[in-house]
Structure 1
Amino acid sequence: MSPFFIIFVVIPLSYATFHDFKSYKDYKVYSIEGNNENLSKIMEFLNSMAEIPFYDIRNSRAEVMIAPELDSIFSNATDLFRLKKKIIVNDYSEIIAEEKGGSRKDSQFSWTAYYDIDGIYGYLKNMSTIYSNWTELVEGGQSYEGRKILGLRINTPTDVDKVKNIVFIESGIHAREWITPATTTYFINQLLTSTDPAITSLRDQFEWQIFPSVNPDGYQYTHKRDRMWRKTRSKSSFFCHGADPNRNWDYNWGQYGISTDPCNYQLYAGSQPFSEVETRTLSKYIAELDNIVAYIAFHADAQMLLVPYSDSVEHTSNYDDLIKIGKSSLEYGEKVNGEKYDGPATAAEILYKASGGSMDWVRNQLATPLVYTYELRGTYFHWPPSKIFEQGDEVTQMMVGLFNEACNLGYC
């Protein structure tokens, strides 16, 4: 055995204290390259020693965030595993400072800054008051810390007495993916205020139920304590908190892309399916809705469009339609900023296998015909607040393209 592996190292837990915001001062983000087996080995080794706030492995390349006290150990490990490394972010605290410095327009909600959960919920409540004739604040569940999972129901009146199909949008299930609640509220604003006939037609054709943050405790924690937090905030062990709410749904739970360690910073799937009150109550709310035609989830930041199932390369019965509709969506989005997305395809085909996600549960349990996950743009969960509108405009056009083609194929 290499001497490297018999050194006993204790790295202090890097959770923020109960009263301090974790600064991430001198935390570096590295790019490392090599074969996937060695990349997996080094991450397994590092995770056994300390919290790794962020890492991602794909296509013989990985990105990983390293605390300053772990830097020399990380350097030795990359040498041992014959991996090439390069610093791509020298001090993550500078990125956090940029995000917190976004421009706000007095007391008005804007899309040049990121808001905490109270700010987002305030916006939803305000919109439900301003457009009270055709919007309604709805409660999709509750959180471990007692917050409501709030969304906005948009249902404009029609000349004919008919029940509209529902489009359900889930966002912010991973707490640190700030661009997703921001983009979702931007899309809400487009539905409510735009005079573009393509957007008003989209608004009027369906009943929309849009939830910008379905993990409100975790999201608030990223604003107040730890910017890179991903999970819920339940008590998972004596020392550790939270589970990954997108590994906690009762479909193939615990099989791929998960951890059974309650202290795992990213992928702990929970003690059992729906162990988290957020997923348990939200799934009940969704199951009680009639005539959902589409379920759309927003994540960041792999820049791709995914279809069920996330842990399999086997295809759903209407896979060809999903691909055709998804391609139309991406084509509309690309026209906005020239940005290409990968896919549409299953996560198992173009990203990695992952079980226990919301999208797969909805498709399997409710037989919802149109189910997609959009992985928005960004790097290491950062997107400049001054450019939120770019992704907001892309997503708005993606929705126009998605439902134009879906209606062409008879799904409306």
Structure 2
Amino acid sequence: MMIRHLLVVCATVLSVVQAGKHDIYSGHSVYGVHVRSKAHQMLLHDLEPILDLDVWQHGIISEREAFIRVAPENKEHFLNALDEEGIKHYVHLEDVAQTLEQRDNEMNSWRASRRNRMLFNDYPRYDEINAFMDRIALQHPSLVRVVTAGKSFEGRDIKYLKISTSNFEDSSKPIYMLTAMIHAREWVTTPTLLYSVHRLVENLRSQDRDLREDIDWIIMPLLNPDGYEYSHTTERLWRKTRSHRPEINATCWGVDGNRNYDSVNFGLIGASSNPCSDIYPGPEPFSEVETAYVRDVLLEHVDRIQIFMDVHSYGNYITYGYGDGSLPPNPVELHLVSAVMGAAIDIYKLPEAYFYRVGNSGILMYPTAGCAQDYAQSIGVPSR
């Protein structure tokens, strides 16, 4: 059952497309870095806050390169640090601004060639996403309900869907909860969840009927609407929320929402104390209304939530906590289920795509604290 659901959710990969002006990225380059040891991984991890590096892919030792965006003023320092350790590297993208412009042109040409635009085949804007959810609920009132969790920092409604054949009143049914787009630039994640809704509600296949009849669903496709809209209009690679606390910093906006959940070592691992950093965790856990809404939904349904999936891009991974490399009470079960899920997706992957890798996020990729997976597992999700 879980395997077939993941095929509905599909794989996610980083997509850098469709923006406005990209001048702020002029001269920024992306380097491929050959990671050959844990020391190489840790060097990149340590350099990230110091040089304000933007990690597009965290490398796997002797298997996958890391891809790192570097501002022009930090290139010399970055390359010297790699050379001193004998770490091989190469230029993956010479100029990020030019690459983004090229992707914009390609996307516009693709849209112009399409007669019928399916919402989940594109990157819909905030209003389109809300309209989709409202329409689904209006057309299927016995199955779907739209819930407004509350307002974002800038006053946008944050909505989610509850899908149930029993109006969430059958306590014997497990709940699967999916969230996406806490990181504003990960545009592909929201269409992934919209497609899941489409498959569950509008295009249910006979072999998937139990997914709808035996499970209740909570699907939150756009957690960070402020950052998402900002990434469309102003900065394509914007990652954080758009909260502003002038008492902390007058010129820097936002918090990394996936460092903002309450957890052991909050703000101490995989984060930066600099409010301008992309990995700034915020002044305290749940300082962001967006993450607080997820917390509230999790706590409301914690006794029934069997699966919690926080969908991100990029890099074909299925990971579980804890982010610091320690393990929850059921690591064997989590690993086995994740491995079967990954294998099922691999059957349908593109030839050039990586096979899915499975493991503890802190060991497989990099250590963090304050992420959604850690918080969910710490309060008892998944329950079994």
Which string of whole-angstrom CA distances, capped at 9 and with x for unpartnered residues, describes residues 214-271 of structure 1?
1111111111111111111112511111111111111112232111111112x11111
Matched, 1:186 2:192: no
Runs (4 or more) in structure 1 with deviation over 4 Å come to 34-49, 68-82, 104-108
Deviation at 1:25, TM superposition (A): 4.1
Q: 2:251 pairs with 233, 236, 239, which one?
A: 239
Q: 2:233 pairs with 224, 234, 238, which one?
A: 224
Amino acid at match of 1:221: Y
1:234-313 equivalence runs, <5 A: 234-236=243-245, 237-252=249-264, 253-265=266-278, 267-289=279-301, 291-313=304-326
2 CA distance for matches of 1:342 and 1:195?
Answer: 29
Change (3 A) 1:327 1:53: closer
Q: Secondary structure at the match of 2:257?
A: coil
Change (3 A) 1:312 1:238: same
Deviation at 1:357, TM superposition (A): 1.1
Q: 1:351 pairs with 325, 346, 365, which one?
A: 365
Q: Secondary structure at the match of 1:240?
A: coil
1:13-412 equivalence runs, <5 A: 21-23=21-23, 24-33=25-34, 37=39, 48=50, 51-54=52-55, 56-59=57-60, 61-68=65-72, 70-71=74-75, 74-75=78-79, 78-79=82-83, 82-93=86-97, 94-95=99-100, 97-98=102-103, 100-101=107-108, 102-103=110-111, 109-157=118-166, 162-163=170-171, 164-236=173-245, 237-252=249-264, 253-265=266-278, 267-289=279-301, 291-316=304-329, 318-337=330-349, 340-343=355-358, 345-365=359-379, 367-369=380-382
Amino acid at match of 1:21: K
1 CA distance for matches of 2:316 and 2:174?
Answer: 28
Deviation at 1:354, TM superposition (A): 1.1
TM-score normalised to structure 2 length: 0.79
Change (3 A) 1:284 1:204: same
Q: Which runs of 5+ in 2 are unaligned?
A: 1-19
Which residue is equivalent to 2:5?
Answer: none
Q: Secondary structure at the match of 2:319?
A: strand
Which string of whole-angstrom CA distances, capped at 9 and with x for unpartnered residues, describes residues 284-306 of structure 1?
23212352222111111121111
Which string of whole-angstrom CA distances, capped at 9 and with x for unpartnered residues, describes residues 298-342 of structure 1?
1111211112222233342x3222222222222322222376211
Which string of whole-angstrom CA distances, capped at 9 and with x for unpartnered residues, describes residues 173-224 of structure 1?
1111111112111111111122422222212211111011111111111111
Amino acid at match of 2:31: Y
Change (3 A) 1:72 1:348: closer
- RMSD (Å) for aligned C-alpha atoms: 3.0
- Given that 2:22 and 2:100 are in contact with CA atoms closer than 8 Å, whether structure 1 keeps it comes out as no
Which residue is equivalent to 1:402?
Answer: none
Amino acid at match of 1:148: D
1 CA distance for matches of 2:48 and 2:346?
Answer: 38
Change (3 A) 1:73 1:199: same
Q: Secondary structure at the match of 1:337?
A: coil
Deviation at 1:166, TM superposition (A): 1.7
Percent identity, aligned pairs only, is 26
- Given that 2:260 and 2:286 are in contact with CA atoms closer than 8 Å, whether structure 1 keeps it comes out as yes
Change (3 A) 1:107 1:238: farther
Change (3 A) 1:333 1:232: same
Amino acid at match of 1:199: D
- Given that 2:60 and 2:364 are in contact with CA atoms closer than 8 Å, whether structure 1 keeps it comes out as no
Amino acid at match of 1:22: H
Which string of whole-angstrom CA distances, capped at 9 and with x for unpartnered residues, describes residues 37-62 of structure 1?
5775577568546x544455444653
TM-score normalised to structure 1 length: 0.74
Q: How many residues align?
A: 346
Change (3 A) 1:197 1:353: same
2 CA distance for matches of 1:227 and 1:67?
Answer: 15
